[in-house]
Structure 1
Amino acid sequence: MATTAAVGLLLALVSAFTSAFAHALLKSGVNKLATLAWIRVVELLIALPLVLWMGLPPAMLWPWLLAAVAVHAIYQVVLSWSYAVSDFTAAYPIARGFVPIFTALLGMALLGDRLDGIALVGVALVSGGILFLAGKGAITRTGFIAAAITGLFTTTYTLVDAHGVRIAPDMLTFVAWFFLLGAFPIPLLLFARYGREGRVLMSRDRKAGLVAGIMAVISFAPALFALGLAPVGAVAAIRETSLIVGLVLGSVMLKEKLGWQRICGGLLVTAGTLGVIARTAFS
């Protein structure tokens, strides 16, 4: 059990590092919806040969696949709104800060996961450190609300994904079909909103979108596998180390100011993450 959890947490750590790059690329795109559409196109191209090879998933998996696609689509729309109204280094930490503790508690209540008191303290440190990173006055009320709603949907899709991965006949079936089905809502929304101009927007954001799509697949596929191997609260906490990379990217790539408060918050996150790893993987 400890070895399985350790593999899951390692996958979550891989996901954390690549996730920050994908989010920074999304923020750098001129039109966030067009960039998201490119991410979905990349996922479609990767998933299509896999599902043709595997065939249809079992009937009992369809409700969870459709639920995952719906929740992710809503999350992506709210995420693009959040990044449109706030700095990346403010919106990203707040959006992620609500996730670990809520996911840990709901994972224990709904999925039967087990985390002891020390691991929960580590998860709480991660959440507290992330919220501290945002800093008072670093974000508007609208930006805070958008980021908080993003965090709520992140918690929701994490729990839905975890259950789907765990009841699937094998984890790859859920991952491949999720990427295939999830490829359609965002491009459809883009063209429903902008009409023929959607092609112009996608052409303009092609480079950022394609690279973000590759990074998103590299990020999210390991996260889905991790949810099948380790408690969702621990996986959520480990994935939030992405914000440390995100802060560096926001400062270097997007030229956003990085102050002492966010650095101190990053140290809290690191301490909490190390506690979760030690308690979950090796106890």
Structure 2
Amino acid sequence: MTLSEWFISLEGTEAGHRFALILAVSAAFLHAVFGALQKGRHDPWLSRGAIDASYGLMAAPFALFVVPWPEPHMWILFVGVFIIHVGYKLLQAFTYTKGAYTVVYPIVRGTGPLFTVFGAYLLFGETFNPMQWFGVLVLLSGIFGLALYNYLYLVTDRATLIPALWLALATGLFVALYTTYDAYGIRATADPFTFLAWFFFIDGLFMPPIAYLRYRRMENPPALAPLALRGIIGAFVAFASFGSIMLATRLDKVGEAAILRETSTVFAALIGWLVLKETVGPRRVALMALIALGAVIVEFAG
């Protein structure tokens, strides 16, 4: 049995549901790592360009020579994937340029699942019961509470904060759009790994030229070796993070996977504390606990 056959055999089973849970939570942690890599020591545009170039090059041989060739109807879907992810990346880079990571990241991640739940209802007919909606409200109260707390107490330079918040809101809308669209795409092909390989190959085409032009215009551009290393590490994180959430939406409900992924805000706060040396106090810990509690309610009330 091939990997694809094994994965497809899990669809609609209890084992598939459990595996989707593991994939979604793994995606949450890895997405927080991915966000920190893009927001870290390098310019966000350069970081994203290095990451995209790395995973595009890595995915190319798999897309062209390993996985089955996409069905004819998939090409128009890949055009949509490219356009939507271009919009998401541009908004995300502008957001990280304008605002503090611990403020804008919760806004992005809090807006995304709310609209994804509605998108999953419209596209896939998925519904939440009242207890699951209560879990959504608990999770969102923790996410937006965390953003508000960071806004009130941890941000010193507010000159660009209001534009950053609007950009974060728009980015969250694109998160919902790409989550539901990618879920539709990975369900539309016989082999989910065909979608993943071509997704990363196509998705890696846009940002590297922009990053290169930005690098050329810099008065003091960073050394290439550390930037390239960040790109390679980020590529592997992206494979695991975006790949996990897409596979989870193939196996189980899109809305539930999106909610579970947003526990990434908890991991992002921990990364901000441990790696970026940002302050974490008891109030933020309590808000992070709300996020985790909301995700648990959504999962176990389903």
- Return the TM-score normalized by structure 2: 0.86
Contact 1:75 1:150 in 2 (8 A): yes
Give deviations 1:166-213, integer Å, cap 9, x for gaps: 111121111110000111001122234554769x55715223232222
**Residue among 7, 27, 36 paired with 1:15:** 27
Contact 1:132 1:261 in 2 (8 A): no
Q: Secondary structure at the match of 1:113?
A: coil
Structure 1 position 42, deviation (Å): 2.3
Seen in structure 2, the aligned counterparts of structure 1 residues 149 and 32 have a Cα distance that, compared at 3 Å, is: same
Structure 2 residue 247 is matched with structure 1 residue 235: no
Structure 1 position 135, deviation (Å): 1.5
> Which position in structure 1 is the counterpart of 2:274?
252
Structure 2 residue 66 is matched with structure 1 residue 53: yes
Structure 2 residue 182 is matched with structure 1 residue 161: yes
> Which position in structure 2 is the counterpart of 1:211?
233
Q: Secondary structure at the match of 1:135?
A: helix
> Which position in structure 1 is the counterpart of 2:8?
none
Aligned length: 280
In 1, the alpha carbon distance for the partners of 2:222 and 2:85 equals 22
Q: Secondary structure at the match of 2:278?
A: coil
Seen in structure 2, the aligned counterparts of structure 1 residues 145 and 261 have a Cα distance that, compared at 3 Å, is: farther
In 1, the alpha carbon distance for the partners of 2:296 and 2:254 equals 16
Gaps in structure 1 of 5+ consecutive residues: none
Gaps in structure 2 of 5+ consecutive residues: 1-11, 156-160
Structure 2 residue 76 is matched with structure 1 residue 34: no
CA RMSD of aligned residues (A): 2.1
> Which position in structure 2 is the counterpart of 1:265?
287
In 2, the alpha carbon distance for the partners of 1:262 and 1:72 equals 31
Amino acid at match of 1:206: A
Structure 1 position 20, deviation (Å): 1.1
Amino acid at match of 2:81: A
Contact 2:249 2:257 in 1 (8 A): yes
Contact 2:55 2:232 in 1 (8 A): no
Contact 2:273 2:279 in 1 (8 A): yes
Amino acid at match of 2:41: G
Structure 1 position 55, deviation (Å): 4.7
In 1, the alpha carbon distance for the partners of 2:242 and 2:49 equals 16
Structure 1 position 247, deviation (Å): 0.3
In 1, the alpha carbon distance for the partners of 2:204 and 2:293 equals 37
> Which position in structure 2 is the counterpart of 1:126?
139
Sequence identity of aligned pairs in percent? 28
Amino acid at match of 2:258: A
In 1, the alpha carbon distance for the partners of 2:53 and 2:281 equals 37
Contact 1:134 1:262 in 2 (8 A): no
> Which position in structure 1 is the counterpart of 2:127?
114
Give deviations 1:19-52, integer Å, cap 9, x for gaps: 1111111111321111111211221233122212
> Which position in structure 1 is the counterpart of 2:4?
none
> Which position in structure 2 is the counterpart of 1:73?
86
Deviates more, 1:270-279 or 1:132-141: 132-141
